[in-house]
Amino acid sequence: MSAVEINFDGIIGPSHNYAGLSLGNLASASHGGDTSFPRAAALQGLAKMRHNMDLGLAQGILLPLPRPNAAFLSAIGADGTEDARLLAAAWSASSMWTANAATVSPAADTTDGRCHLTVANLVTMPHRSQEWPDTLKQLRVAFGSADHFTVHDPVPPCFGDEGAANHMRMASRHDQSGIEIFVYGTSGGAFPARQHEQASRAVARRHGLEAGRTLFVEQNPAAIAAGAFHNDVVAVANERVLFTHEQAFADPEGTYSAIRAALPEAEIVVVPASAVSLGDAISSYLFNAQLLTLPTGEMALVIPLEAWEHPRVRAWLDEMRATNGPIRRVLPVDVRQSMANGGGPACLRLRVVAEPKSVDTRFLLDSAKAERIETIIAAFWPESISSNDVGSDDLAEKVKTARDELLDSLDLSELC
Ligand code: SUG
């Protein structure tokens, strides 16, 4: 069997809460202090996975990390006098956004013919910087076959790396050799540019990518300033198609010509600011979509309900569907619990192009396994978490038990 795209969604962890931890992520800031609903959140995530499996697509999972994170609390000498935000960081379920787990270069693009993954160091945000050791452990199990995969340590912490959220791949088909586009930021005004150019360049070198088929593109500082803390909030690519906001890149025309020069069959669908402003794009998460190739060969855009319900975005989508463009279907999904923290359908998944049989089967999903996971979520995930609950011993116990039950049922207790 040849390589296919497998989307590995993060199962939303039992400690999912709104702590307003991400400067520059407008949804996270505006929902800080709200009550969260972890059970509903995790079931929404599973429903999205089922939605995509029902389209005939391969689906994988990544598991929640241990929370509250005892290693992080010990490293900051937590004794009850620490800042409430640091305590909340140790409880964060942010590893659900697996687009930030790693950068992935499929075997067809690399000199040694293996699929390379570099775990993201996520150093810009303290609550995210604690993820990589446990994520790395998990990636080394899921992609443990050395004949097919190389899983790299993070790049040095002096260079911020946020993984696949700032990386796009285009190819005539997923299993063909493609071009890899690394998008970095230099400045975002009041907000941090989370992806550093030198991190992207280090990842590309370590993955053994061909220089002529690797692009390094600067994110538009105005997009970061407007709340595009990751490039995947304003652009998404799939096979020969790039779907992008007009203001995503610092030099849009230069970027499009470089893409067309490296991949002549590229089709670039640009949404003009006159139809959908940067503000509308960011509040609706139109671009934080999964652009997927269906088994029929058609492309579908899986968008959050917030984009579907946004009048100007909807008008643009209706217009796009009436033309003969490459994106034939638009499929809205409900991931509102994740969206309130700035994570849409695209944030929740890590794309890996590989032969399914080369992946540890415990990380692959089918309908029976989805049902097992849903039963555990329904039984063990807290119904709600308010900001006062974060730090409570009772809740900590509940969260740990919930994760242990999940790992046990998936025969993955080695990740405890
Ligand atoms: O890193 N939100 C995440 C959202 C990540 C979205 N990922 C992609 N765009 N690929 C972030 O800002 C909020 C946590 C809180 O505030 O409780 C948070 O971490």
Number of domains forming the structure of the chain: 1
Ligand 1-lining residues (CB < 6 angstroms): 18-22, 25, 28, 92, 94, 97, 99-100, 125, 128, 165, 229-230, 232-233, 341-343, 347
Q: How far apart are CA 368 and CA 322, in angstroms?
A: 38
Atom of ligand 1 nearest to the CA of 162: 10
222 burial class (0-12, 13-18, 19+ CB within 10 angstroms)?
middle
C-alpha 320 – ligand 1 centre gap (Å)? 29
For the CA of 17, the closest atom of ligand 1 is 17
- Give pLDDT tens digits along the chain (416 positions): 589 999 999 999 999 999 999 999 999 999 999 999 999 999 999 999 999 999 999 999 999 999 999 999 999 999 999 999 999 999 999 999 999 999 999 999 999 999 999 999 999 999 999 999 999 999 999 999 999 999 999 999 999 999 999 999 999 999 999 999 999 999 888 999 999 999 999 999 999 999 999 999 999 999 999 999 999 999 999 999 999 999 999 999 999 999 999 999 999 999 999 999 999 999 999 999 999 999 999 999 999 999 999 999 999 999 999 999 999 999 999 999 999 999 999 999 999 999 999 999 999 999 999 999 999 999 999 999 999 999 999 999 999 999 999 999 999 999 99
Q: How far is the CA of 15 from the centre of ligand 1 (A)?
A: 14
The letter for the amino acid at 158 is: C
- Please give the structure tokens belonging to residue 154: 């993070």
DSSP 334-390: --HHHHTTT--TTTTEEEEEE-GGGS-GGGB--HHHHHHHHHHHHHHS-S-B-GGGT
pLDDT of residue 1: 59
**Among the atoms of ligand 1, which is closest to the Cα of residue 288?**
9
Q: How far is the CA of 157 from the centre of ligand 1 (A)?
A: 19
Atom number in ligand 1 closest to CA 92: 17
The CATH number of whichever domain residue 71 belongs to comes to: 3.75.10.20
Distances (CA, A) of 268 to 67, 170, 235, 350, 373: 41, 11, 11, 22, 38
Give me the phi and psi of 162, to 5 degrees please: -115, 15
Cα 95 to ligand 1 centroid, rounded to whole Å = 9
Q: Whose CA is nearest to atom 10 of ligand 1?
A: 347
**Residue-range definition of the domain harbouring residue 314:** 4-415
Q: Which of 9, 16, 18, 22 to mutate to test the pocket of ligand 1 (most atoms within 8 A of CB)?
A: 22
